[in-house]
Structure 1
């Protein structure tokens, strides 16, 4: 009887040991899950910040390019106006000739 009693106690001790190991394993898995979740949250936030920064930089570059194009167009407009004001007769004849050529070209 003492052997069966010792076997039963050993089995209970072994069962308790397994249960303790399972409890520790569950805690470790929960900690790992929390760490992965925190890392994913941090990575997502960093990615969002990167995308946002890139979008701001791209918008700034587009705005600068648009401003530069507008400035160039205004400068070209001023040059054309000054040439027309300096030579009105030549400008009217040139416009008439270009219109005539475009009209003849469009009929073909």
Structure 2
């Protein structure tokens, strides 16, 4: 069901329709948003989706969970940090290839 909603939102956006979404589900945001506002009784931050969702300190200070891909990306010292599992897998593959080519 969630995939259908994400696909619908993306199709509408491709047609030029601006959509405002309020969500506590940060795992969906990378698939549907360009800009993000962080609200905690007031607007605390706004900006590029990637910058906001990879700002661990900002998210934690405002009681939000950090995306799993971001946590793993930090541990693996990936830059830029991945936001989705798909991005994480691609970055891991690339890192493995680079390590193999150095050996």
Structure 2 length-normalised TM:
0.24
Q: Which has the higher helix share?
A: 1
